[in-house]
């Protein structure tokens, strides 16, 4: 198992499609923009007319419910795409997208993407994979909310994180850019206190260690066993 990107497609240079380069390997300023940590890329009710690619950094996709509570839907990193609902008729954004660290984001309009699809037939498959994987993730999270307790949801998230973004180091697995306890709580519909308690229990059992920058899984098999 290695670090995976759902957005990689063989024989299709997605990065260069979103971030075309000028002579000298510099990214075309027309399509790219730098964001500082905390900057919003878009907000609810704004026009949904672009699709975005993360050239560097990480982005949080979320929404605010009627009670004013933030719901985190996804945390995306280098090489991932967001804002894809603009391609299937979304007129106004329903979510927000915010930079979790300094980022370079490339974007193209939906009209530009439609024209590109004519020249790159694999882009259709790419977009289907993006949207399909998001639907599957939402279904899995819904099932987890219905059938699993808060502790299991936190541990399940850690397993998914290692599967998607972990790198093997000897017998251990490391995930860099480990997110905050509050973000994990937002993703798993639990409380920050619950997340902290579960992480500390796993650390005391020598299954994981962690700090603000990384998660280290010492025993991936034991972590999987903890889900049940």
Under the banding of pLDDT at 50, 70 and 90, the label for residue 6 is very low
Q: Which residues pair with 224 in a beta bridge?
A: none
Are residues 136 and 33 both part of a single domain? yes
What confidence score (pLDDT) does residue 131 get? Answer: 85
When pLDDT is cut at 50, 70 and 90, the band that residue 130 belongs to is confident
Residues 65 and 167 in one domain: no
In the chain, what percentage of residues exceed pLDDT 90? 50
Dump pLDDT digits (tens) for 81-116: 999 999 888 899 999 999 999 999 999 999 988 888
Quote the tokens at residue 226.
């903890």
Domain residues for the domain of 66 are 14-145
CA 215, chain centre distance (Å)? 16
162 in the same domain as 124: no
- The per-residue pLDDT for 194 is 96
Residue with tokens 């498959």: 125
Q: The domain spanning residue 96 has which CATH number?
A: 2.60.120.10
Assess whether 85 and 116 both reside in one domain: yes
Over residues 139-156, mean pLDDT: 88
Kindly report the length of the chain. 228
**Residue 1 included in any domain:** no
Handedness of CA 199, 204, 205, 209 (dihedral sign): positive
The number of distinct structural domains making up the chain is 2
Mean pLDDT score of the chain: 86
Rounded alpha-carbon distances, angstroms, from residue 28 to 22, 146, 197: 6, 46, 46
Q: What is the pLDDT of residue 9?
A: 44
pLDDT band, very low/low/confident/very high, at 8 (cuts 50, 70, 90): very low
Residue for token pair 């954004």? 93
Among residues 145, 169, 195, the one where a domain terminates is: 145
pLDDT in the model for residue 124: 81
82 and 61 together in one domain: yes
Binning pLDDT at 50, 70 and 90, where does residue 11 land? low
The answer to whether residue 9 is domain-embedded is: no
Q: Are both 68 and 169 inside the same structural domain?
A: no
Q: How far apart are CA 117 and CA 195, in angstroms?
A: 43
Q: Which residue has the higher pLDDT, 7 or 100?
A: 100
Give residue 129's pLDDT.
84
Residue 6, in any domain of the structure: no
What sign results for the dihedral spanned by CA atoms 116, 117, 120, 125? positive
pLDDT in tens, 133-142: 888 888 888 8
């Amino acid at each position: 198992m290695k670090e995976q990107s759902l957005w990689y497609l063989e024989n299709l240079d997605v990065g260069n499609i979103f971030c075309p380069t000028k002579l000298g390997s510099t990214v075309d300023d027309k399509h790219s923009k730098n964001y500082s940590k905390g900057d919003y890329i878009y907000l609810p009710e704004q026009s949904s007319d672009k699709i975005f690619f993360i050239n560097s950094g990480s982005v949080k996709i979320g929404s605010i419910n009627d009670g004013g509570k933030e719901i985190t839907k996804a945390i995306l990193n280098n090489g991932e795409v967001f804002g894809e609902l603009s391609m299937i008729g979304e007129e106004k954004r329903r979510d927000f997208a915010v930079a979790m660290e300094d980022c370079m984001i490339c974007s193209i309009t939906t009209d530009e993407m439609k024209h590109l699809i004519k020249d790159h037939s694999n882009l259709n498959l790419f977009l289907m994979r993006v949207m399909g994987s998001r639907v599957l993730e939402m279904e899995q999270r819904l099932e987890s909310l219905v059938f699993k307790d808060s502790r299991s949801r936190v541990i399940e998230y850690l397993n998914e994180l290692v599967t998607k973004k972990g790198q093997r180091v000897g017998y251990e697995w490391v995930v860099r850019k480990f997110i905050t306890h509050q973000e994990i709580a937002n993703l798993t519909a639990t409380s920050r206190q619950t997340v902290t308690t579960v992480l500390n229990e796993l650390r005391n059992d020598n299954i994981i260690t962690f700090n603000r920058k990384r998660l280290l899984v010492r025993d991936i098999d034991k972590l999987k066993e903890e889900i049940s």
